[in-house]
């Protein structure tokens, strides 16, 4: 019998060994891997996101929980793949050209994975053409861009323009975030949405997924 | 030209009524902007003094500390060359801190780490600059970076995991860094030219603190209490700078003994709310928006924002005009000049805007 409350508690408190144990116990008890993901790991990361939003959790607690969540996903992934399971959505993410600040982008990436998304992380200092290439090959639902500086965030506009020039703009939703980024800037450059933090990015991505 | 006078800045910091003018309050201006104001590159201590005093500041900042040593600058940073500046199509190089795993991720790393000696850092700029300072101009000694140096040495992600996996290691690194910076402050305060100490240590981002208040209270703020006691014992006021949303710890920052808070970054902090709630206990410096106005706005928009801040915040003293972070190369010179000139134009006491 799966104990999803125990699994969630283990994820939220960042206990890697316990997450592995409760994930394995659930599977051994006959639970479907998708059910373990949907009823254990994903709701746990939802709670982590909520705690982050209300300042009960900070970056360390979030990273520690995400590490524990990934230990559970590592067990489930091959089983899900064997079942032909599909992620909730697919995201291409990166820190824009000229910018090496990636902790914010990494947090968004981790929370997206915790939310059931498949994430292709292009890393930092990503040129617009690399985003375009990734959209062509990976066919994601979303392109998400991060920047630390007012000067580097302008590369977000270049990426939106490059997507348009490649005829790919209407294939994806474009999201932007980072210290200097605002809703006003998002609107100016023709991106689809802005989020102030990782939790907001996951919530908005879920809302915008095709039904 | 505005006659520089450190008493103006000191009076603002100590909230000792209204000085003659609202002071300027930035301590970090990119060399390209300095050259733009001065009309020549800033290469020597004489050039530095000429820039800060010509530009209307009441002080000359000098930085020292662990953050400038090779262990940080060469081993914890990565450089990228790109077109960052506002006024040229040329490329520039910027240093970016390690955010993943840093140099110290285990007790063995910590024990093997070759810590520099704070007593052998180069303090000669303080000596060299002293005879160059015009009458009434002082040095702001810049340091801080207790949390920042630890997060650079361990990587912010490495620090985060270590808080769960090896809290003793975290405590040891903070203790070592804090003790180092404390000693640097002690050494800086030996120079009579030092009129204020400015601790820059980013502990927050756009929506909240990077780590919990508990971690800051345990590992960071006690070092600032100690460093501020050293400064206050010599009658030297102290400023704290951190980006981001600090609301959860403004009371702690005041309790550390800081006299001024910078840069009150919008939209993370509402400067009018900060002034109303804390303005009687700490001076506020900054808030001219680097996210839009200074970088992508027009000089007229900069002037309007400075005018508004002076109208809202300067009456009674305790406010200095400054950017909401620093003045990097991606601020157009015209906007930097607009910020300074609007401060001179609207900042004469009694405030009449």
Is A152–B82 a contact, with Cβ atoms under 8 angstroms apart? yes
Residue B295 inside a domain? The answer is: yes
Q: Which CATH number characterizes residue B186's domain?
A: 3.20.20.210
**Partner residue facing A100 (CB), from B84, B96, B207:** B96
Residue B82 inside a domain? The answer is: no
User: Would you write out chain B's pLDDT as a tens digit for each of its 353 residues?
Assistant: 789 999 999 999 999 999 999 999 999 999 999 999 999 999 999 999 999 999 999 999 999 999 999 888 766 677 888 888 888 888 888 887 767 778 899 999 999 999 999 999 999 999 999 999 999 999 999 999 999 999 999 999 999 999 999 999 999 999 999 999 999 999 999 999 999 999 999 999 999 999 999 999 999 999 999 999 999 999 999 999 999 999 999 999 999 999 999 999 999 999 999 999 999 999 999 999 999 999 999 999 999 999 999 999 999 999 999 999 999 999 999 999 999 999 999 999 999 99
Q: Residue A178 in contact with residue A146, Cβ under 8 Å?
A: yes
| Token output for A45 | 């990361």
DSSP tag of B2? P
Q: Tell me which chain B residue has its CA closest to the CA of residue A65.
A: B161
- Host domain of residue B69: 6-77+89-346
Cβ atoms within 10 Å of B346's Cβ, excluding its own: 21
Q: How many residues does chain B have?
A: 353
**Partner residue facing B156 (CB), from A98, A103, A151:** A103
Give A39 to chain B, closest Cα distance, Å: 26
Q: Tell me which chain B residue has its CA closest to the CA of residue A179.
A: B206
Residue B227 inside a domain? The answer is: yes
B330: alpha, beta or left, given left = phi > 0 and alpha = psi -120 to 50?
Answer: alpha
Residue B289 inside a domain? The answer is: yes
The count of CB pairs under 8 A between chains A and B is 83
Q: Tell me which chain A residue has its CA closest to the CA of residue B244.
A: A179
Spatial distance between the Cα atoms of A196 and A174, rounded to a whole number of angstroms: 15
Sorted by where each starts, the structural domains of chain A and their CATH numbers stand as: 4-82 (1.10.1240.10), 89-208 (3.40.50.280)
- Name the residue among A47, A90, A37 with its Cα closest to residue A205: A90
Q: Which residues of B108-129 are buried (b: 16+ CB within 10 A; e: fewer)?
A: ebbeeeeeeebeebebebbeeb
Number of structural domains in chain B: 1
Model confidence, pTM: 0.93
DSSP string over A76-126 = HHHHHHHTT---SEEEEEEEBTT----HHHHHHHHHHHHTTEEEEE--SSB
Spatial distance between the Cα atoms of B7 and B215, rounded to a whole number of angstroms: 36
Structure-token match 């060299």, residue found: B128
Is B209–A55 a contact, with Cβ atoms under 8 angstroms apart? yes
Q: Residue A126 in contact with residue A101, Cβ under 8 Å?
A: no
Question: CA distances (Å), B163 to each of A61, B159, B189, in order?
Answer: 9, 6, 33
Residue B1 inside a domain? The answer is: no
Largest CA distance in chain B: 62
Spatial distance between the Cα atoms of A62 and A13, rounded to a whole number of angstroms: 9
- Name the residue among B284, B267, B266, B288 with its Cα closest to residue B275: B284
Q: Residue B289 in contact with residue B322, Cβ under 8 Å?
A: no
Spatial distance between the Cα atoms of B287 and B269, rounded to a whole number of angstroms: 9
Residue B351 inside a domain? The answer is: no
Q: Residue A104 in contact with residue A153, Cβ under 8 Å?
A: no
Give B209 to chain A, closest Cα distance, Å: 7
């Amino acid at each position: 019998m799966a104990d999803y409350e125990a699994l969630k508690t283990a994820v939220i408190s960042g206990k890697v060994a316990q997450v592995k144990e409760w994930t394995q116990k659930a599977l051994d008890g006959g639970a479907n891997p998708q059910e373990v993901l949907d009823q254990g790991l994903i709701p746990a990361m939802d709670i982590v996101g909520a705690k982050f939003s209300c300042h009960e959790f900070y970056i360390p607690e979030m990273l520690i929980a995400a590490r524990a969540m990934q230990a559970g996903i590592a067990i489930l992934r091959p089983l899900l793949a064997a079942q032909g399971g599909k992620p909730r959505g697919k995201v291409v993410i990166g820190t824009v050209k000229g910018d090496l600040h990636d902790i914010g982008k990494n947090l968004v990436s981790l929370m997206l994975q915790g939310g059931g998304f498949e994430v292709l992380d292009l890393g930092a200092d990503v040129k617009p053409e690399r985003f375009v290439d990734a959209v062509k090959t990976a066919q994601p639902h979303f392109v998400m861009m991060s920047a630390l500086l007012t000067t580097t965030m302008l590369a977000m506009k270049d990426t939106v323009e490059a997507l348009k020039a490649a005829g790919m703009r209407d294939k994806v939703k474009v999201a932007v975030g980072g210290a200097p980024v605002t809703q006003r800037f998002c609107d100016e450059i023709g991106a689809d949405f802005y989020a102030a933090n990782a939790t907001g990015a996951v919530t908005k991505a879920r809302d915008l997924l095709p039904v | 030209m505005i006659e520089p006078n450190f008493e103006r800045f000191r009076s603002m910091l100590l909230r000792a009524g209204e000085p003659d003018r609202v002071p300027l309050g930035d301590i970090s201006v990119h060399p390209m902007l300095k050259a733009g104001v001065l009309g020549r590159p800033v290469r020597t201590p004489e050039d530095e003094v000429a820039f800060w005093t010509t530009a209307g500041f009441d002080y000359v900042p000098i930085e020292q500390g662990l953050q400038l040593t090779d262990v940080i600058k060469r081993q914890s940073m990565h450089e990228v060359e790109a077109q960052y500046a506002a006024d040229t199509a040329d490329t520039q190089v910027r240093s970016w801190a390690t955010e993943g795993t840093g140099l110290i991720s285990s007790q063995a790393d910590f024990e093997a780490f070759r810590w520099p000696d704070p007593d052998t850092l180069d303090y000669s700029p303080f000596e060299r600059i002293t005879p160059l300072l015009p009458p009434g101009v002082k040095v702001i000694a810049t340091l801080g970076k207790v949390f920042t140096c630890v997060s650079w040495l361990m990587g912010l992600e490495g620090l985060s995991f270590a808080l769960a996996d090896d809290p003793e290691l975290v405590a040891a690194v903070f203790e070592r860094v804090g003790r180092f910076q404390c000693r640097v402050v002690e050494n800086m305060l030996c120079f009579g030219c030092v009129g204020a100490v400015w601790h820059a240590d980013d502990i927050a981002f756009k929506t909240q603190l990077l780590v919990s208040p508990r971690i800051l209270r345990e590992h960071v703020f006690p070092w600032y209490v100690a460093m501020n006691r050293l400064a206050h014992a010599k009658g030297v006021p102290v400023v704290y700078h951190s980006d981001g949303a600090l609301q959860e710890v403004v009371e702690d920052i005041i309790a550390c003994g800081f006299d001024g808070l910078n840069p009150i970054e919008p939209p993370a902090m509402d400067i009018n709310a900060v002034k109303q709630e804390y303005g009687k206990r700490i001076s506020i410096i900054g808030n001219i928006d680097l996210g839009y106005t200074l970088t992508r706005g027009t000089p007229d928009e900069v002037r309007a924002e400075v005018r508004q801040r002076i109208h809202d915040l300067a009456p009674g003293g305790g406010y200095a005009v400054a950017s909401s972070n620093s003045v990097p190369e991606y601020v157009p010179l015209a906007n930097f000049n607009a910020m300074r000139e609007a401060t001179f134009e609207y900042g004469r006491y009694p405030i009449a805007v």
